[in-house]
Structure 1
Amino acid sequence: MTTEPTTKTTDTVTSTGRATSAASGTSSALAPGQTMTPDLRLLGVSKEFEAFTAVQPMDLTVPGGSFFALLGPSGCGKTTTLRMIAGLDQPTTGQIFIGDRDITATKAYQRNVNTVFQSYALFPHMTVLDNVAFGLKRRRDKDAMRKAKEALELVELAGVAEKKPSQLSGGMQQRVALARALVNRPDVLLLDEPLGALDLKLRRQMQIELKRIQQEVGLTFIHVTHDQEEAMTMADSIAVMNAGRIEQLADPAALYERPTSTFVANFLGQSNLLLASVTGPASGGLMPATTHGNEVHVAAEHVPDGIRDVWVGVRPEKLRLGDQGANRLRGLVTDASFTGVATQYLIRLPWGFEVMLIQQNDGSTRAAVGETVTVSWEPGQEFVLDQNQDQAAGVQIEEG
């Protein structure tokens, strides 16, 4: 992340509420006659352990039939939240509902909820088909084998039904685990870092597959992950968690384009945060501001009400080399990294702050290290945050 040195401290911004979009529908063979998937609701749910509070009191609604992600760094409370939904941990306060049914005190095995873990937990001595049918057979479902075959068709593994798990790749084993969970027709399917054990290429393929399957079956998927790209690729809505609270809940584009806190801005991708002050009233939808003596203009609707000292945030891909945008700053190129589809630059501004700029390799003239260049962007392509928030919040957070 690219940040500018400052002594400001963080004001944590929290936000809870209903996700803005849902992809509801009916599934074919897996849910005959199903017309609606119930909402999942958490009301005042919290979790305290002896030494710390893992989840602060939380209100959250996940619309039925949506792909929802809980995203955050290690220790933020996302897995604890998932475990409370699954019935593996009991909330300290609050209630959990699926539709109108209060499941707060219901045992895990009595909830119509299934979980897919990072470890596949398949029975090695059973065939793939028997693994998928296992739960149905235990409930003496007469159609267990037929339903298991349909679930394998859904995850495109009908051709390996008679193989043992050890004969399959990691990605195929993960799809078997998914089929085993889906065949039970849960109201909510919980995904606990399910792709963490896969290599990068396979993980990206599985992201597309998981989204396709969720849209086809129309069930509620709740995906816990620390991988921002994974959440952005698959989820209809994302709750970004930090220190046991929801910092912001929105669809992926809104989170990326209009973060409401420096934590969200830095955790979701790269951010150039410029120290600035708003200097005048709005005119033509824009407000003037200065950053280290340089005048820029920002969209008035992006400026928090009553705030004059701000961070002006510009994503690296929004910046341009040259004077293409109305907001212009001069700087020295200190690094240029060619990545194939783009070139990533570090450009030191006169006061010592380095911004990151990403230029698509579309035939545009590239700059050289040591060259003085103009960095520009169009007003409205920035986001604006209260300067009282910690500029470095969410930067360089790593699992473990």
Structure 2
Amino acid sequence: MAAQASGDLSLVGISKEFETFTAVHPLDLEVPAGSFFALLGPSGCGKTTTLRMVAGLEEPTTGKILIGDQDITDTKAFRRNVNTVFQSYALFPHMTVLENVAFGLKRRGDKDAVAKAKESLELVQLGAVAKKKPAQLSGGMQQRVALARAIVNRPDVLLLDEPLGALDLKLRRQMQIELKRIQSEVGLTFIHVTHDQEEAMTMADSIAVMNAGRIEQQGDPASLYEHPKSVFVANFLGQSNLLRASIEGPGAEGTVMVSSHGQRLEADASHIPEGAREIWLGVRPEKLRLGEGGGPNRLHGVVADASFTGVATQYLVRLPWDQEITVVQQNDGSARALEGENVTVSWASHHGFVLDAAEPADAGLGHEDG
């Protein structure tokens, strides 16, 4: 059932102003045909407005929207080959599952509507419930029916607006894997709007992180996580330990020496923002090691808390200047540190990232979804 997408989706200088505020500042975005793309950010960042402009439900203030070479900026929503799957499934309760999926095709007079609907239901693994009514299905199954109904139309672009938000955690995780499988099999361009960073990183080939109507950073999930370009991105995509530091000068090959609270540390020279002198030296909790085996960077502290979580133990280590950093260690059978124990925390210079200290350390925190 793989479909050949008709071209990349391009947003060129697109923006949206309302009477009292600017929801989306002018931005450029290119989504490769056949890819799974995520717009990620907190509530009110402009991601849903951007999606609605692609769908034709909001008119851009400036800019153009193109699919391949076709400019669809002024095309009415119902004439765009773009479908949207919302958090609310909007299924017809009086129709069977099969009738729901075939409905749009039948309205257009497609003689193969039923056959195509059955094929779409098989893709989402719901062929066995084709004769049931939506009310007889679980929330996850209803979500898959809504997805089948959208896919059966073979849109150039499928828009997913927080589609898993109404599901419980376990089902949401299962559906993340299912959505990625379905997208891969059907070969359509998926654009997924979410505030859940784990959801975006699990499914998307590429992510654009939005904040206050602007794209902070765009890239594949691993690049965004390992090499955030702003404090907002570092904090929004998981936990970060940020140490205030000053650049001192060149270090060993490929590194620079920095000073943090009187401690000399190494940072990867390729990560230094141009012109920065005062920086945040960042390192993810799982990159830190208790003991001196993790790399040349070492800090000494006291274990303030140790929380066993099953696969790992999370430590809070209080440094001499009263800052607490988080260390996550896999439970691989090695001895665990105890609360009150003096420990050394170490890490390799290439496991850290460097950000300009002009941005506050709590950027990206405090959002209801961050």
Shorter-chain TM range is over 0.9
How far 1:273 sits from its partner (Å)? Answer: 0.3
Report if aligned partners of 1:270, 1:316 keep a CA contact under 8 Å in 2: yes
**Which residue does the alignment assign to 2:168?**
199
Query: Which residues of structure 1 form unaligned runs of 5+?
Result: 1-26
TM-score (norm 2): 0.98
1:221 alignment counterpart: 190
Residue matched to 1:250: 219
Task: Please give the per-residue CA displacement for 1:252-303, whole angstroms capped at 9, x wherever unaligned.
Answer: 0000000000000000000000001111124311111111001111111111
Question: Structure 2: where are the runs of 5+ without partners?
Answer: none
Q: Kindly tell me: are residues 319 and 399 of structure 1, through their superposed partners in 2, closer, same or farther at Cα, counting changes over 3 Å?
A: closer
216, 232, 235: which one pairs with 1:263? 232
Counterpart in the other structure of 2:81: 112
> What is residue 131 of structure 2 aligned with on the other side?
162
SS at match of 2:321: coil
Counterparts of 2:262 and 2:308 in 1: how far apart (Å)? 32
Partner AA of 1:190 in structure 2: L
Give the Cα–Cα distance (whole angstroms) in 1 for the partners of residues 129 and 164 of structure 2.
Answer: 21
Question: Cα deviations across residues 222-264 of structure 1 (Å, max 9, x unaligned)?
Answer: 0000000000000000000000000000000000000000000
| 1:323 and 2:292 aligned | yes
Question: Would the aligned equivalents of 2:251 and 2:266 in 1 still touch at CA under 8 Å?
Answer: no
Counterpart-to-counterpart distance in 2, 1:37 and 1:281: 50
2: CA distance, partners of 1:296 / 1:385: 15
Please state if 1:302 is matched with 2:271: yes
Give the number of the structure with larger relative contact order, counting CA–CA contacts within 8 Å between residues 6 or more apart: 1
**SS in structure 1 at match of 2:350:** coil
Once residues 282 and 103 of structure 1 are traced to their aligned partners in structure 2, the CA distance between those partners, rounded to angstroms, is: 53
Cα drift, residue 306 of structure 1? 2.5
- Give the structure 2 partner of residue 46 of structure 1: 15
Report if the CA contact (8 A) 1:37-1:218 is conserved.
Answer: no
Q: Quote the offset at 1:37 in angstroms.
A: 3.5
Deviation at 1:172, TM superposition (A): 0.5
8 Å Cα contact 1:69/1:224 also seen in 2: yes
User: Which letter does structure 1 place at the counterpart of 2:368?
Assistant: E
Fraction of identical pairs, as percent: 74
> Who is 1:390 aligned against?
360
- Within a 5 Å distance, the mapping from 1:55-70 to structure 2 comes to 55-70=24-39
The structure 1 segments of at least 4 consecutive aligned residues displaced by more than 3 Å after TM superposition are none
Q: Which amino acid counterpart does residue 361 of structure 1 have in structure 2?
A: N
Report the number of matched residues. Answer: 369
Instruction: Give the equivalent residue in structure 1 for 2:341.
Output: 371
Q: Which residue number in structure 1 is paired with residue 64 of structure 2?
A: 95
3-state DSSP class of the match of 1:50?
Answer: coil
Q: Residues 8 and 32 of structure 2 are in contact (CA less than 8 Å); yes or no, is this contact kept in structure 1?
A: yes
Match of 1:6 in 2: none
The whole-number CA distance in structure 1 between the counterparts of 2:346 and 2:369 is 35
TM-score w.r.t. structure 1 length?
0.91
Query: Per-residue CA shift, 1:291-324, capped at 9, x if unaligned?
Result: 1001111111111223221100000000000111
CA-atom RMSD, angstroms?
A: 1.0
